């Protein structure tokens, strides 16, 4: 069924109006929203964790304990405090309590250790750290940095551990603190444009950056998503992605809070428990990302798959090859695939259930996003005779950019940037379509069709050049990801010494009952891909290399390349003469006239 541009725009107008609810200059903050919902729904469950409810009223009281205890420790409006904790109710108690004081919370990846943890802490100006007891071991790996920060530990019933002498038991301090709302004067002057969070990007290609997240942006995201999902107080959200990341901590939580809905909170994602939780708690919507949907599809079919209350899912990363099968098998009425980023000043969303699309811009004059030509070989944007960027034609791959706006009284098009000013500047393109203009560089390659539906292609840097042709890792993966028995597939380019470009490598994870067939995989790739895009190498992995938000991570795989010294997994190289992939060794490399891998 063809949907008119006008009909798509009508739906986008509803979303846009909701996304403009909150302004940079307002004094209504996230803390005010939590207190307001606690007054409206004092006895209604906001969280369900381990089958136990936490009401809006209870959450507000516990957050007050944190706020009053933190104030005694000297935290004041404008300060930054780091939070490192698994998904559990105390995560909310801490950041809401800090928000009541006007304190910004820097959300730290619970898996960060050593170099990554040092980096995360050094890029924030945190005065102290609030640490879940479950994270003590990882936190100790960066003792040379963390030892200088006052650290307050929040007890975890699932991880009974002794608190080191240099740290303080914050749970005891909070329990003895008053439950009354701290005076609003403690956050007097705080505005919508001020930071609620520092949220780290997912780090798919390197160390993450800490993005500013304002009160205004957090709440507007919730208003927008709630409008798209058409949710109300009777809806139930399912949260299994980590709260320290934007998908769960901003998009899902802010949408639920905006409507007074309930959140079923899981410490981490479980394939085996997913549908059990959905049915038991009456979950109506959830946020997905990355490979989540593929994991659910890889489970053996059940006769009651479609017998569930899940009405809508919203997120990014649902590949087109399983889209319709996923929707039909589980009876999902609405799939809202979108494009965006933690720090992006624009976003698009597929409101028409167009298979494979991440959104539509039916009338580009109503959007600040544009798709411009990008040269992967030189990592540059071609310019026209006037020195300006060139917009892409239909079916032409380019980079999505968004004009940076500063409209008085509006948050539309604002780029809030990172805590690192140099990183912020690297994301800004100047003199794009007119002298003096400024645009946010997404780093994402997309294409659009004649009807202006947009499709994600790749991250800049994930597209690699081989045999003078550009290879999209994402498109190549989509083309061959239905190989029998495949659990997960990650395609990336690896350096070949004394050779221009990068050769394709496929990291495969096979399902537990399946064995890799090198003859069948060779035939499958040859049948589905142009010759230059067929992977030269195959790596059989025990598990996928993922970020904690289920995005495929390539950086370490690329560094390890096809070196047997660096890779303990079985490696294969293509053999056209034998029409199969053969085990990689000195002889098989020599037969393909390929040199040994040289690590960087």
Task: Give me the half-sphere count of Cα atoms (radius 13 Å) on the Cβ side of residue 462.
Answer: 25
Q: Which of 190, 214, 232 is the last residue of a domain?
A: 190
Q: Which pLDDT band holds residue 428 (cuts at 50, 70, 90)?
A: very high
- For residues 137 and 133, give the distance between their C-alpha atoms in angstroms, rounded to a whole number: 9
Residue appearing with tokens 């990650």: 490
Q: In what order do the strands lie in the sheet with 195-200?
A: 168-169, 151-154, 126-132, 80-84, 104-107, 195-200, 210-214
Whole-number pLDDT of residue 470: 77
The verdict on residue 71 lying in a domain is: yes
* Percent of the chain whose predicted confidence (pLDDT) is above 90: 73
Element housing 219 (H / E): helix 215-229
Longest dimension (CA), the chain: 77
The verdict on residue 445 lying in a domain is: no
- Whether the CB-CB separation of 202 and 547 falls below 8 Å is answered with yes
For residue 61, the tally of other CB atoms under 10 A from its CB is 17
Whole-number pLDDT of residue 262: 98
**Residues 19-48: what's their mean pLDDT?**
97
Q: Which pLDDT band holds residue 66 (cuts at 50, 70, 90)?
A: very high
- Whether pLDDT at 7 is above 90: yes
| 449: phi then psi, degrees, rounded to nearest 5 | -100, -175
Whole-number pLDDT of residue 513: 86
Instruction: Provide the token pair at 372.
Output: 């411009």
Each residue's pLDDT tens digit, 72-106: 999 999 999 999 999 999 999 999 999 999 999 99
Instruction: Please report, for the domain that includes residue 119, its CATH number.
Output: 3.40.50.12780
- Which are the contacts of 188, defined by CB distance < 8 A and separation ≥ 6? 77
Whole-number pLDDT of residue 548: 61
Whole-number pLDDT of residue 592: 87
- For residues 482 and 221, give the distance between their C-alpha atoms in angstroms, rounded to a whole number: 34
Domain boundaries, position 184: 29-40+51-190
CB environment 219-249: b (16+ within 10 A), e (fewer): bbbbbbbbbbbebeeebbbbbbbbbbbbbbb
| 478: phi then psi, degrees, rounded to nearest 5 | -60, -40
- For residues 38 and 34, give the distance between their C-alpha atoms in angstroms, rounded to a whole number: 6
Q: Please spell the DSSP secondary structure of 143-196, one letter per residue.
A: HHHHTTS-EEEE-BTTB--PPPTTSEEHHHHHHTS--SPPPGGGGTT--TTSEE
- Whether pLDDT at 598 is above 80: no
| Of 163 and 388, more confident | 388
Element housing 402 (H / E): strand 398-403
**Residues 210-217: what's their mean pLDDT?**
96
- For residues 585 and 153, give the distance between their C-alpha atoms in angstroms, rounded to a whole number: 50
- Whether pLDDT at 290 is above 80: no
**Residues 472-495: what's their mean pLDDT?**
88
Q: How many domains does the chain have?
A: 2
Instruction: Please report, for the domain that includes residue 472, its CATH number.
Output: 3.30.300.30
Whole-number pLDDT of residue 147: 64
Whole-number pLDDT of residue 554: 76
Instruction: Provide the token pair at 196.
Output: 């609620």
The chain-wide mean pLDDT, for the chain, equals 92
DSSP H helices, 394-517, are 421-426, 473-480
Q: Which of 146, 162, 190 is the last residue of a domain?
A: 190
Q: Please spell the DSSP secondary structure of 266-284, one letter per residue.
A: -SS--TTTHHHHHHHHT--
The verdict on residue 506 lying in a domain is: yes
- For residues 485 and 261, give the distance between their C-alpha atoms in angstroms, rounded to a whole number: 39
Whole-number pLDDT of residue 203: 53
DSSP state of 365: G
Whole-number pLDDT of residue 206: 56
Instruction: Provide the token pair at 402.
Output: 């968004």
In 3D, which of 485, 476, 391 has the Cα closest to residue 432?
Answer: 391
Instruction: Provide the token pair at 141.
Output: 């790996």
- For residues 370 and 390, give the distance between their C-alpha atoms in angstroms, rounded to a whole number: 10
Element housing 93 (H / E): helix 89-100
- For residues 203 and 467, give the distance between their C-alpha atoms in angstroms, rounded to a whole number: 29
The verdict on residue 281 lying in a domain is: no
Q: Which of 161, 190, 219 is the last residue of a domain?
A: 190
For residue 422, the tally of other CB atoms under 10 A from its CB is 7
Of the given ranges (10-14, 285-289, 545-549), which has the lowest mean pLDDT? 545-549
Whole-number pLDDT of residue 549: 61
Instruction: Provide the token pair at 154.
Output: 């929040």
Whole-number pLDDT of residue 111: 82
Tell me the whole-structure pTM to 2 decimals: 0.86
- Which are the contacts of 294, defined by CB distance < 8 A and separation ≥ 6? 319, 322, 488
Instruction: Provide the token pair at 179.
Output: 């439950």
The verdict on residue 411 lying in a domain is: no
The verdict on residue 182 lying in a domain is: yes
| Of 489 and 257, more confident | 257
In 3D, which of 255, 220, 265 has the Cα closest to residue 235?
Answer: 255
Each residue's pLDDT tens digit, 294-337: 889 989 999 999 999 999 999 998 988 889 999 999 999 999 99
Each residue's pLDDT tens digit, 539-597: 999 887 766 666 666 777 888 889 888 899 999 999 999 999 999 999 999 988 888 88
- Whether pLDDT at 287 is above 80: yes
Q: How buried is residue 282: exposed, middle or buried, by Cβ count under 10 Å (0-12/13-18/19+)?
A: middle
In 3D, which of 211, 155, 245, 563 has the Cα closest to residue 420?
Answer: 211
| Of 56 and 200, more confident | 56
| Of 125 and 188, more confident | 188
In 3D, which of 441, 493, 450, 444 has the Cα closest to residue 470?
Answer: 493
- Whether the CB-CB separation of 50 and 86 falls below 8 Å is answered with no
- Whether the CB-CB separation of 437 and 431 falls below 8 Å is answered with yes
């Amino acid at each position: 069924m063809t949907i008119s541009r006008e009909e798509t725009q009508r739906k986008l107008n509803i979303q846009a109006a909701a996304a403009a609810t909150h302004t940079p200059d307002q004094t209504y903050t996230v803390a005010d929203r939590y207190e307001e919902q606690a007054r409206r729904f004092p006895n209604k469950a906001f969280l369900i964790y381990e089958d136990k409810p936490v009401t809006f009223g209870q959450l507000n009281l516990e957050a007050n304990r944190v706020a009053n205890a933190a104030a005694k420790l000297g935290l004041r409006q404008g300060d930054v405090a780091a939070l490192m904790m698994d998904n559990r109710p105390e995560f909310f108690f801490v950041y809401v309590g800090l928000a009541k004081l006007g304190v910004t919370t820097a959300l730290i990846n619970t898996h960060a250790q050593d170099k990554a943890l040092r980096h995360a802490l050094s890029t924030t100006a945190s005065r102290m750290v609030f640490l879940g007891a479950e994270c003590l071991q990882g936190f100790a790996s960066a003792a040379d940095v963390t030892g200088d920060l006052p650290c307050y530990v929040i007890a975890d019933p699932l991880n009974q551990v002794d608190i080191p002498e240099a740290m303080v038991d914050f749970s005891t301090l909070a329990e003895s603190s008053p439950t009354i709302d701290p005076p609003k004067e403690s956050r007097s002057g705080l505005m919508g444009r001020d930071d609620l969070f520092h949220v780290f990007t997912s780090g798919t290609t390197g160390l993450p950056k800490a993005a500013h997240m304002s009160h205004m942006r957090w709440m507007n995201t919730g208003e927008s998503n709630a409008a798209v999902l058409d949710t109300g107080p009777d809806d139930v959200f399912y949260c299994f992605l980590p709260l320290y990341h934007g998908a769960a901590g901003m998009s899902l939580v802010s949408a639920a809070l905006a409507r007074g809905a309930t959140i079923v909170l899981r410490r981490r994602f479980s394939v085996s428990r997913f549908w059990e939780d959905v049915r038991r708690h009456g979950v109506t919507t959830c946020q997905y990302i990355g490979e989540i949907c593929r994991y659910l599809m890889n489970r053996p079919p059940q006769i009651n798959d479609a017998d569930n209350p899940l009405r809508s899912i919203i997120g990014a990363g649902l590949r087109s090859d399983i889209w319709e099968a996923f929707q039909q098998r589980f009876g999902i009425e609405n799939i809202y695939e979108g494009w965006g980023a933690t720090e992006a000043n624009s976003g698009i969303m597929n409101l028409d259930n167009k298979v494979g699309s991440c959104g539509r811009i039916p009338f580009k004059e109503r959007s600040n996003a544009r798709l411009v030509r990008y040269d992967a070989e030189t990592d540059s944007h071609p310019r026209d005779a006037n020195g300006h960027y060139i917009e892409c034609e239909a079916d032409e791959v380019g980079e999505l950019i968004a004009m940076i706006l500063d409209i008085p009284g509006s948050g539309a098009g604002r780029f809030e940037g990172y805590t690192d000013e140099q990183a912020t500047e690297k994301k800004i393109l100047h003199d794009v379509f007119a002298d003096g203009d400024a645009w946010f560089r997404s780093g994402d390659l997309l294409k659009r069709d004649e009807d202006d539906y947009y499709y994600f292609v790749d991250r800049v840097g994930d597209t690699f050049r081989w045999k003078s042709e550009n290879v999209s890792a994402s498109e190549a993966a989509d083309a061959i990801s239905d190989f029998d028995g495949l659990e997960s597939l990650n395609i990336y380019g690896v350096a070949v010494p004394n050779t221009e470009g990068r050769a394709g490598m496929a990291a495969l994870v096979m399902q537990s009952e399946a064995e890799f067939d090198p003859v069948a995989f060779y035939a499958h790739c040859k049948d589905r891909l142009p010759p230059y895009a067929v992977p030269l190498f195959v790596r059989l992995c025990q598990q996928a290399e993922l970020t904690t938000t289920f995005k495929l991570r390539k950086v370490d795989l690329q560094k390890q390349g096809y070196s047997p010294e660096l890779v303990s997994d079985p490696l294969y190289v293509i053999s056209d003469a034998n029409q199969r992939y053969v085990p990689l060794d000195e002889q098989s490399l020599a037969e393909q006239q390929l040199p040994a891998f040289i690590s960087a």
